Structure 1
């Protein structure tokens, strides 16, 4: 499975593509919303949940193992980071989806034992870890790697509003939009404030004279200087 997120045309889109024996089997896409409210990082995390959702639909094929590819090193490292950080609630969805996948594989691999235990009136609990060899690999993006190019194209389409039927998506994505990202909202506000600052500065009586000395004002370099 290859996952990717893209900021394109003012929107944030995410996609995941499932391959079986190097052949595309299925895909899922999701439109997060405006890039003023969401981030690509957030989309990359959602991409992992889409990928795991696709793997759960072909449990019989992945008893020996499966590989998930992503070009986001930040998200891959965040999977092992249990400290609070941006989009942590989405990482919880990733871990839950991974546990459910292991549980399904374990149930399928031990069907006779499970059936015998249930017939005997005993409780049988499936493993949520180690049932299959689930690996996460970093894949370099934008270098012409065919499998990654395909998911990037779908992510761009999703950024423009094209996405899969909600009924085919993970449950948490079916009912309502995801909450706005604090980081994206803050950056949008800073951009608006900077634009307002520039417009007011150009209307200032001091602008013509100072502009002849330094035409980069107002700039970040000037703010650091003063």
Structure 2
């Protein structure tokens, strides 16, 4: 194990290299400070330190923002209190227990107005769309919104923007009749509207919430009711798959997208490793979050994990590896003639072990 290269161990253990870890921690600290609202006591000193790298009497803030090279104007502002705990939501939510039940509920829904919204990434670009159907009107109303590149924005933001587009479509309609149904295929976006804690992208949900409150205030209908339904993606109306169009709109860069970019830099560095091509043939999903090596072996004893790692990296006590590091006089298998004793031979071919 001591002969295994560091980058191979790091990619299996999901551990950032030291230089990336330091850079990532510094960048996250800078993002956290940059996202404070103007009411925060650190907002003013942070803005001054980021604006100019002084020649004398440099503080830790000066060094932090100079090293991170963070664009302060492009980072989203995260408020620390979204609303009072006693606030009542202007809309209700309905999340079915299963995908099939969601489709059944959708087919039984007889609301006059139905809005379908979705956010997605295409060609490394993030966008959102909303489509409004009114019973008796053949043509739907459609709005698109192009957030920007996937390096600066996330699909979660696009889903939240889709809800805002849905509210905008409703605001443009005359003589609305209630109840109204809005369909989204992302449960996290739906549930975040009731959360009191604030995270990246939640300001978009708050904008949608404010739009619905304004609709309720302007409505003269005493039966005002808007329900957000979860429905599995691609199982309902094809309206959620409309291509992105329209011009690019300037949106604050998501802090979550910035963190994801740090992991992407690590993945690009790993792809340049001489061990990458050989390792990726064994496990094409090695860098995937849900199919990582650590998640697959977490139920195994440590000794079994070590054996698997030795086999995957080929740094194991077989003659081919021992000969390469000068610990064996021959790379051949002691039981087979003129055959290298490698992992594949040991596991699948050699009659002594098979």
Shared fold (TM-score, shorter chain, > 0.5): yes
Does residue 95 of the first structure (1) align with residue 205 of the second (2)? no
Q: Say whether 1:190 aligns with 2:263.
A: yes
Which of 114, 117, 133 aligns to 2:225? It is 133
Structure scoring higher RCO (CA < 8 A, sep ≥ 6) equals 1
Aligned-residue CA RMSD in angstroms?
2.9
Q: TM-score, normalised by structure 1?
A: 0.68
Match of 2:152 among 37, 41, 51: 37
Q: How far does residue 131 in structure 1 lie from its aligned partner after superposition?
A: 5.9
Counterparts of 1:105 and 1:131 in 2: how far apart (Å)?
10
Q: Does 1:152 align with 2:225?
A: no
Q: More strand by proportion, 1 or 2? A: 1
CA distance in 2, matches of 1:104, 1:97: 11
Residue by residue, what CA displacement relative to the aligned partner does 1:121-168 show, whole Å, maximum 9, x if unpaired?
xxxxxxxxx76111111121123x2x2x22322xxx21xxx227x9xx
Q: How many residue pairs end up in the alignment?
A: 175
Q: How much does 1:89 deviate?
A: 1.1
Runs of 4+ residues deviating >4 angstroms? none
Computing the radius of gyration from Cα coordinates, the structure with the larger value is 2
Matched with 2:164 is: 49
Q: TM-score, normalising length from structure 2?
A: 0.44
Retained in 2: the 8 A contact 1:6–1:152? no
> Quick one: structure 1 residues 59 and 85, their matched pair in 2 at CA, closer, same or farther if it must change by over 3 Å?
farther
Matching residue of 1:77: 191
Gaps of 5+ in 1: 110-129, 167-175
Instruction: Specify the alignment match of 1:179 in structure 2.
Output: 252
- Is the Cα–Cα contact under 8 Å of residues 56 and 104 in structure 1 kept in the other structure? no
Classify the secondary structure of the residue corresponding to 2:145: strand
Larger helix proportion of the pair: 1
CA-CA distance at 1:215 after TM superposition: 6.2
Q: Is the 8 A contact 1:105 1:131 kept in 2?
A: no
Gaps of 5+ in 2: 1-114, 298-304, 307-354
